[in-house]
Chains A and B, each alone.
Chain A
Amino acid sequence: MEYIALILLPLLILLMLLVVFMSSHFSVLRRYLKYLLVFIFLLACILLFLEFNLAFILNLLLAGICLFGFILALSLERIYIYTLSGAALALSVVLNLFEKAALSELCAVMFYLILTIAIVKDIINEQA
């Protein structure tokens, strides 16, 4: 898993840079990549929270990706955030039915993380 994380990380960073540079030219691309980046954020969060034995600098990068993804996720429409969280919860139920407790827990973590985004978005909206 650590190797996967090590390979995945630079790829994620490259992808992010690509999106940042290209999005201003291709608005359609930006719209769809936004969702992709939210998934990347979730993946980064899970990698970070599972605490893989990564070097300090890699953890820092992961944290950066998390923060970037988090800010980006806030710009998603409310209904999509809740749909995503609903999907994670549904997946958790299904995995629990098949007695895959660890995977079900992982999906519940995703549900919790997406719900956190939704809550932060709600708080910001209320503040406004």
Chain B
Amino acid sequence: MQSDKIRAMLLVLVLVFVSALTHHYVFTQKGILSAGDWVHFYAEAGTTLANYSVYIKSQNFGEAMSLPNNWPFYLVASNLMQAGFSFDFFTRVFFLIPIVLFTPIFSFLAFKRISGNLYAAFFATLIYCFNTFFLKLQLDWLTYASIWWIFALLVYLVVSYSQTKRLVYLPIISLISAIGIVYELRIMLVVFAFFGIYLVFRLFAKNFRDFFLISCAFALGVLMHSFWLLPIFFGNMYSDVITYASSSIFPSFFNIVDVLLLRSYQWSGGYVFEPFIKQQVDTLLFIVPFVAMLGLYSRPKYTKFDKSILKPLLVSLVIFAFLAKQANIPGTQTYKFLFENVPLFSLFRESSKFIIIVAFCISVFGGIGAAFIKSKLTTKHRYLAGFFTLLFTFLMLLNSVHYIDSSVGDMTKGVSIPSEYIVLKNYLVKDNEFSRVLWYPFRPRFAYYSQEKPAVLISSVQNHIARNDLFNNKNRFNRFLDYSSIKYIVVPSSIQKEYKYAPDDTRIEIEGYKYYGSKDKYLSSINRNTGLKNVPVNDSDLSFFKNEDYFPNIYTSKTPLSLDYNLQNPDYIKYKMLTPYLYEIPIDELGDNDHIHFSDAYSSNWNMLAMEKDNEPQINDKQLKLTSDKHIKNKAGLNTYIVDSKWIEQVKATFKNPAIYIFYAPQSYLRIGSYISALLILITLLALFVLLSLGFFKRQNTHPDITSLEGEHK
């Protein structure tokens, strides 16, 4: 048995070494590891990320945070950036290194627990870690890729608990689930669906204790996210957030071949090509379903398969493979039906999120299939079995060959920030006054934005106010820019310096305007609509326009705001942004019948209230709220408060030293939610500590062999 443990450790070491070697760029590349959908933040935007807020000021005209589950990560990133580390350092430490090192370790442990066979676990880990779908995820969708180690660890913990009944696994399940939700909410919903199937089978097996305790462990992990669940469900934020979920389905890119081969449809010849264009399937990739089928066939005779997880794996393989191929055959209408009728299914506008479960199931059976071949060969000739092990390892690693030479994409190659974007960033950082930057027609990766300089996308302008209404009238467009505090317009460089490689190793340059048309079209559109002049930035191709007539974030007028005529006698009153969700206006600044305009996107959640003036105002204190009928959406789609003298008098009569505040109401739930989250995390950690201590003392008094983390298969 001891030799088995040594062999297991050696196999894990081999897997980790191979993973580190193929992903050496994570440790060695000097450039910034950023590509595709993966964001980049400048250190100067560090404070923006640390806001204890469910409101994002730095995007467009301000919006409810669509995925507040990521907030703990933003906090960590912000603290690191303020301590002098870059966002790239954060990306490597919290995303890439765990993906590279933890995925092989935890998946090996999980597969070993399930199959009870060392080599089956080894082969399964190779399939799980080096399939092209997972490799593609690591090129830009790092949050999804992170769930691959979280999921494997959760399976290990759940199966370990059901085998050993040691309670110590339960608090760890809660904590890991909570961490998983921080990484990626939607994929964790899929993971929970898998464990839902598992729990149903526990119920069928009449194992009520397992069902109850494991359910509670997962529920506790979810409740640890009360800090954002409360604002969303009780703070009138749900309707804002759900609007981010797509109302229509994406085209189906993954078919049953891609799903069963665990293949990225963009993948061919070891390279990732243009998104949304299907590539020819590499024949070698068919090895995966073949060994999986063999594993399914040989499993009953060959392995000590864990009974508790077998049926959930079999059922999940069928169900999730069916979902992952979206609207492709078979059953073309099912996905659409589920998307339109099942609650929360609309979060899955495309089906790739289900592939993680298919990958896990196929890896389990694929590992068993490969180990079955190896065992058959061992009975004939030992060297032949060794050769097979090497060959299988080589064939699986073949997928990552262009990770080794760093030619598969910018994430592996590292990029440097174009100098003009650094010049622009320095310029914007120096401008302390609040104003917005309109990026037209798109915002490139290295565009600077912060809560003082929010980046507005032209698409958000179009959502905000009718495009035709705005773009066909120079005066209206100019007024819109002024009223919504847009001071700068930037047209990005014409070449978005990104490259892709063809199979013959020729480099293809991808032009930034490929999908938008020529740059001149946008420059002439700005000239025509605004009359602003282009200010050159560092002799570069980046075009920069300055609108000096912009209004601040909060201003007042005697008349309603309209795009049809100029605002009469606007007053730039004094105000203070205490946090992005709380603004203070001295009461003396307001006259009679003032229209107070707040240039963030209209939301009924933006309340105006009066309170005692304080250095650190508490919203829970006594307050006087302006009625909702006095809060209107103005013609620019922004907030306007109509404050009459009666209310001002009432405020002055109620408070000794009053001030007016504009407050984003769901924020108040964040504090209560955070207390609940903190309390639950503390209780869980305490429970873990107590259970570990009890286990330790128990082991001292009994046999030391039971202490093994690996445990014996029962």
Measured CB to CB, the residues of A under 8 A from B are: 45-46, 48-51, 78-79, 82, 85-86, 89, 92-93, 96-97, 99, 101, 104-106, 108-109, 111-113, 115-116, 118-119, 122-123, 125-126
B587 touches A (CB below 8 Å): no
Determine the distance from Cα of A105 to Cα of B260 in the docked complex, in whole angstroms: 11
Contact B321 A99 (CB under 8 A): no
22 A-B pairs, CB-CB below 8 angstroms?
A: A45-B330, A46-B330, A48-B330, A49-B329, A49-B332, A79-B297, A82-B297, A96-B281, A99-B280, A104-B257, A105-B257, A105-B329, A106-B329, A109-B256, A109-B330, A113-B330, A116-B318, A118-B297, A119-B296, A122-B300, A123-B311, A126-B311
Contact A51 B332 (CB under 8 A): yes
Q: Is B318's CB under 8 angstroms from A108's CB?
A: no
Within 8 A of A (CB), among B324-378: 328-333
Known: A49-B329, A116-B318, A123-B311. A92 touches B286 (CB 8 A): yes
In the assembly, what is the distance between CA of A109 and CA of B258, in Å? Answer: 11
List residues of chain B with CB within 8 A of the CB of A118. 296-297
| In the complex, B314 has a CB within 8 A of chain A | yes
Inter-chain CA distance A5–B152, complex, in Å, is: 45
CB–CB B296/A104 < 8 A: no
Q: Which residue of A lies closest to B290 (CB)?
A: A89
Q: Are B283 and A82 interface neighbours, CB within 8 A?
A: no
Q: Kindly list chain A residues whose C-beta atoms are within 8 Å of the C-beta of B311.
A: 123, 126
A93 CA to B257 CA, complexed, in Å: 10
Contact A93–B331 (Cβ < 8 Å): no
Indicate with 1 or 0, residue by residue over B235-257, a CB within 8 angstroms of chain A CB atoms.
Answer: 00000000000000000000111
- B315 adjacent to chain A (CB < 8 Å): yes
> Across the two chains, which residue of chain B brings its CB closest to A82?
B297
The contact size tier of chain B is 20 to 34
Indicate whether B12 reaches chain A with its CB closer than 8 angstroms. Answer: no
Q: Which 5 A-B pairs have the closest CB atoms?
A: A49-B330, A82-B297, A108-B257, A119-B314, A93-B286
Q: Shortest CB–CB separation between residue B408 and chain A, in angstroms?
A: 23
* C-alpha gap A106/B255 in the complex (Å): 10
Q: Are B289 and A111 in contact (CB under 8 A)?
A: yes
Q: Please judge, given known A-B contacts A51-B333, A106-B329, A109-B330, whether A119 and B260 are in contact too, CB under 8 Å.
A: no
Q: What's the Cα separation between A101 and B300 when bound, in Å?
A: 34
Name 6 extra pairs, CB < 8 A, besides A49-B330, A51-B332.
A46-B330, A92-B257, A96-B257, A96-B283, A96-B286, A118-B296
Given known A106-B329, A112-B260, contact A123–B293 (CB-CB < 8 A): no
- Which chain B residue shows the least CB distance to A85? B293
Which listed residue (B290, B307, B317, B329) contacts A119, Cβ 8 A? Answer: B317
Determine whether the beta carbon of A105 is less than 8 Å from that of B296. Answer: no
What's the nearest-Cβ distance from chain B to residue A38, in Å? 16
B310 contacts chain A at the CB level, 8 A cutoff: yes
- With a cutoff of 8 Å between Cβ atoms, the chain A residues found around residue B328 in the complex are 105
Measured between C-beta atoms, what is the minimum distance from B101 to chain A in Å?
Answer: 33
- Give, as a whole number of angstroms, the nearest-CB distance from A73 to chain B: 14
Cross-chain contact A104 with B281 (CB below 8 angstroms):
yes
Q: Which residue of B lies closest to A86 (CB)?
A: B293
Q: Which residues of B contact A78 (CB under 8 A)?
A: 297
A46 to B331, CA, bound (A): 9
A82 touches B296 (CB 8 A): yes
A118 to B296, CA, bound (A): 9
In the complex, what distance in Å separates the CA atom of A50 from the CA atom of B328?
Answer: 9
- The proximity string for B residues 281-306 relative to A, scoring 1 for CB distances below 8 Å and 0 otherwise, is 10100100110010011001000000
Q: How far is the CA of A125 from the CA of B278 in the complex (A)?
A: 39
CB–CB A89/B297 < 8 A:
no
User: Whose C-beta in chain A lies nearest to the C-beta of B298?
Assistant: A82
Q: Which residue of B lies closest to A51 (CB)?
A: B332
Q: Which of A46, A92, A115 has the most CB of B within 10 A?
A: A115
Q: Which residues of A contact B310 (CB under 8 A)?
A: 126
A99-B278 Cα distance, complex, nearest whole Å: 13
CB distance from A97 to the nearest CB of B (A): 6
B286 surroundings in chain A (CB, below 8 A)? 89, 92-93, 96
Q: How far is the CB of B255 from chain A (nearest CB, A)?
A: 5
For the complex formed, measure the closest distance between the CB of B676 and the CB atoms of chain A, giving whole angstroms: 40
Q: In the complex, what's the smallest C-beta–C-beta distance from B132 to chain A, in angstroms?
A: 15
Contacts of A112 in B (CB 8 A): 256, 260, 321, 330
User: Could you tell me the distance between the alpha carbons of A96 and B315 in the complex, rounded to whole angstroms?
Assistant: 28
- What residues on B are CB-neighbors of A109 within 8 Å? 256, 329-330
Bound Cα distance from A86 to B310, whole angstroms: 22
Q: Which residue of chain A lies nearest to B322 when distances are taken between CB atoms in the complex?
A: A112
In the complex, what residues of B have CB within 8 A of residue A106's CB?
Answer: 329
> What residues of B have a CB within 8 angstroms of the CB of A89 in the complex?
286, 289-290, 293
Q: How far is the CB of B364 from chain A (nearest CB, A)?
A: 13
- From A82, A97, A123, B314 is in contact (CB under 8 Å) with A123
Contact A105 B255 (CB under 8 A): yes
